[in-house]
């Protein structure tokens, strides 16, 4: 996805990029026009319309099964693909180039502008009514509305959350989860002193998304529009405060540096060597599945903030996008709408037992709450924590059009953290690589 575009494609890329850049200044929520995508006519021979769909989110097969069982006019043929740039995204990009992409596919919010700028997805504005958009969190609508046009339907929001071992905190004399980042560091020192083999958290060198969410939480804006150009500011003051803070935690051996969701990280959780996890709402299901033997020992709290007031970025989050060549957009959006706005859709996903995602449609929170077994968290109402966090997600964050290059360069630099590298060096590398890639694509970058 980093190759130079052909002249025709390059013209389209630059034209869309101008709209994307302008949207970064003020994301316009277009009023719906045309159908909302709530229905689709069956094929002319009386057979249902069958759409192809690729995705990876936990519980997706169960959602597809429930939809197919309850719908006659539209059926979904699902193929599970891996997540990530080198996995599913590469498969989608290659399929688009080859002209055999699925009708519908999942993409994270951060990757959507890249697919839009490459002309891989359809503008679905005419099929997305204002009523439909009104069902989702405004922050999720912002991230799927680029250049004043709708490009995807949001599945979940991913507000940050703080997961912690109650027993280990009590052993260290920590009476309540930290509300500020100063308290987080103080708690980290207490924990290390009282339980020398345990640490309060982990810095994931292979996944920049946690750092991005923390920068977002602190009010950073990595991408903004200036006229028809992009301003790229990965290493601004708000982000530097975050990098300096985590670098000091790493240097003082108060957090571990381990790959995300790796065997190493899992073992540290199982042994009590990692006592907390700065994650997102979906992390509730991850922990439950990763360390089931620790049932009843974990709890969830709001993520710490700099001033103690509720504030969150978004760590991940998935959407449904229609591929550019699909002739079945209306049918595809019937399924996507059902999957993202109905209790049946969210319950099918959560009841699989593997997902604790927070729905982008707030009205579905009761259904998600009812479907998720909270025994692992001692019966705690974790969705009330997620709901409050979702309300505190900072608005007006914009992802850039070349996040694969951005994240790839940051990840490469973070890989040197245990050999003398720094968190700031990773962000600086991301700044340089992003600007270079955008210019290589013919996008204007404001200086």
pLDDT tens by residue, the chain, 447 residues: 333 334 444 444 444 554 555 444 333 222 222 333 333 444 446 789 999 999 998 899 999 999 999 999 999 999 999 987 767 899 999 999 999 999 999 999 999 999 999 899 999 999 999 999 999 999 999 999 998 999 999 999 999 999 999 999 999 999 999 999 999 999 999 999 999 999 999 999 999 999 999 999 999 999 998 888 999 999 999 999 999 999 999 999 999 999 999 999 999 999 999 999 999 999 999 999 999 999 999 999 999 999 999 999 999 999 999 999 999 999 999 999 999 999 999 999 988 777 899 999 999 999 999 999 999 999 999 999 999 999 999 999 999 999 999 999 999 999 999 999 999 999 999 999 999 999 999 999 996
What is the per-residue pLDDT for 351? 84
* Same domain, residue pair 336 and 284: no
Whether residue 426 sits in one domain with residue 278: yes
Do residue 84 and residue 225 come from a single domain? Answer: no
Whether residues 28 and 97 share a domain: the answer is yes
In angstroms, the first-to-last Cα distance of the chain is 25
In a shared domain, residues 46 and 120 = yes
Element (H, E) at 114: helix 112-117
Tokens 């688009």 -> residue: 96
CATH code for position 47? 3.40.190.10
Residue 56 to residue 84: CA distance in whole angstroms:
10
Residue 372 domain flag? no
Torsion of CA 326, 329, 333, 335, to 10 degrees: -60
3-state secondary structure of 224: strand
* 55 and 168 co-located in one domain: no
- Residues 324, 420, single domain; the answer is no
Q: How many domains does the chain have?
A: 2
Q: Which of 22, 24, 445 is nearest to 227 (CA)?
A: 22
Residue 261 φ/ψ region, left for φ over 0, alpha for ψ in the -120 to 50 degree band, beta for the rest: left
Half-sphere exposure of 376 (CA within 13 A, CB side): 21
Residues 266 and 409 placed together within one structural domain of the fold: yes
Q: Is residue 269 part of a domain?
A: yes
Q: Which two tokens stand for residue 241?
A: 């405060």
The H or E element that residue 142 is part of is helix 138-144
What does the pLDDT read at residue 16? 52
Q: Is 131 exposed, middle or buried (0-12, 13-18, 19+ CB in 10 A)?
A: exposed
- Which residues lie below 8 Å from residue 302, measured CB to CB, with a gap of 6+? 161, 162, 177, 179, 310, 312, 385, 388, 389, 392
Does residue 2 belong to any structural domain of this protein? no
**Range of 343's domain?**
7-157+316-360
Question: What is d(CA 55, CA 77) in angstroms, rounded to the nearest whole number?
Answer: 11
Tell whether 175 and 69 lie within a shared domain.
no
> Could you give the 3-state DSSP secondary structure of residue 338?
helix
Residue 130 sits in the same domain as residue 119: yes
Confidence (pLDDT) at 392: 97
Residues 107 and 19 in one domain: yes
Q: For residue 271, with 0-12 CB atoms within 10 Å meaning exposed, 13-18 middle and 19 or more buried, which class applies?
A: exposed
């Amino acid at each position: 996805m980093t190759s130079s575009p052909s002249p025709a494609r390059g013209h389209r890329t630059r034209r869309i990029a101008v709209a994307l850049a302008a949207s970064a200044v003020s994301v316009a929520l277009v009023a719906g026009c045309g159908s909302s995508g709530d229905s689709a006519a069956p094929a002319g021979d009386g057979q249902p319309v069958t759409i192809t769909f690729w995705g990876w989110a936990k519980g997706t097969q169960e959602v597809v099964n429930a939809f197919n069982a309850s719908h006659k006019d539209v059926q979904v043929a699902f193929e599970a693909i891996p997540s990530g740039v080198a996995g599913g995204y590469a498969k989608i990009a290659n399929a688009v180039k080859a002209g055999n992409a699925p009708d519908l596919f999942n993409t994270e919010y951060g990757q959507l502008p890249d697919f839009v700028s490459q002309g891989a997805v359809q503008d679905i504005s005419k099929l997305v009514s204002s009523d439909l958009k009104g069902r989702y969190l405004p922050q999720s609508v912002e991230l799927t509305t680029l250049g004043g046009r709708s490009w995807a339907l949001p599945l979940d929001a991913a507000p940050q959350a703080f997961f912690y071992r109650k027993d280990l905190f009590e052993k260290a004399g920590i009476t309540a989860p930290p509300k500020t980042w100063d308290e987080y560091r103080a708690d980290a020192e207490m924990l290390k002193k009282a339980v020398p083999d345990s640490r309060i958290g982990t810095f994931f060198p292979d996944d920049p998304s946690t750092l991005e969410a923390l920068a977002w939480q602190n009010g950073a804006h990595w991408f903004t529009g200036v006229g028809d150009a992009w301003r790229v500011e990965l290493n601004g003051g708000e982000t530097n405060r975050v990098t300096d803070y985590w670098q000091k935690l790493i240097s003082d051996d108060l957090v571990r540096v381990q790959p995300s969701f790796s065997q190493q990280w899992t073992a540290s959780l199982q042994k009590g060597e990692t006592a907390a996890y700065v994650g997102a709402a979906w992390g509730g299901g991850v922990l439950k599945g990763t360390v089931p033997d620790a049932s009843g020992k974990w709890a969830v709290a709001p993520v710490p903030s700099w001033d103690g007031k509720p504030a969150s970025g978004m760590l991940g989050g998935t959407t449904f996008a229609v591929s550019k060549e699909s002739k079945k957009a209306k049918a595809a959006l019937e399924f996507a709408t059902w999957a993202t706005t109905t209790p049946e859709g969210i319950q099918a996903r959560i009841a699989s037992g593997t997902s604790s995602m927070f729905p982008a449609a707030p009205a579905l929170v009761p259904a998600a709450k009812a479907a998720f077994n909270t025994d692992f968290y001692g019966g705690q109402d974790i969705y009330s924590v997620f709901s409050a966090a979702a309300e505190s997600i900072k608005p007006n964050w914009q992802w850039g059009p070349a996040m694969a290059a951005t994240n790839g360069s940051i990840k490469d630099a973070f890989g040197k953290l245990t050999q003398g590298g720094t968190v700031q060096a990773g962000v600086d590398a991301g700044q340089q690589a992003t600007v270079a890639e955008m210019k290589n694509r013919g996008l204007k970058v404001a200086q």
